[in-house]
Amino acid sequence: MNSSTNSHATRPPTEVTAKATRRRFTAEYKRRILQEADACERGELGALLRREGLYSSHLIEWRRARDAGELAGLMPKKRGPKAQAPDPVAEKLAAMEREVARLKAENAKLQLICDVQKKVSLLLGVTLPTIPDDESNGSSS
């Protein structure tokens, strides 16, 4: 009974990481391991996998990727949604819409300034010179 108590006291605490991290392997590392695995004799493959801390499923996946296209298959794949190529027509349309909105806002400011100038001239009794285009626009409304 005394020896069991001592064994619990001398046992090292377990090491638990806060969160497991995904291992990432470079394309060069994958190529090197595949070359070593292909060169292994019977019974040596298990030792290679134990030494590197890999699983046989890694080799299967990496070989499949290598056979599909060595450089493209062994490069790390970007995760997440695929980015869409920008449409040049849509970009041009958006730029034109922004320009139209800016010009409309500027036109509204200028119209307000003209209206204020007309009201001030009426209050002060100053007659503003008329432009023939203004008279034709004014008479048509």
Query: What does the alpha-carbon distance between residue 54 and residue 27 come to, in Å, rounded to a whole number?
Result: 15
Query: What does the alpha-carbon distance between residue 81 and residue 77 come to, in Å, rounded to a whole number?
Result: 12
Residue 126 has which token pair? 């100053």
Task: Indicate the domain borders of the chain.
Answer: 21-74, 88-140
Residue 67: per-residue pLDDT: 82
Query: What does the alpha-carbon distance between residue 35 and residue 136 come to, in Å, rounded to a whole number?
Result: 87
**Mean pLDDT, rounded, for 26-34:** 87
Residue 97: per-residue pLDDT: 97
The answer on pLDDT for 141 being more than 50 is: no
pLDDT-based confidence at 138, cuts 50/70/90? low
Q: What is the pLDDT of the chain when averaged over all its residues? A: 81
**pLDDT-above-90 percentage for the chain:** 28
The answer on pLDDT for 9 being more than 70 is: no
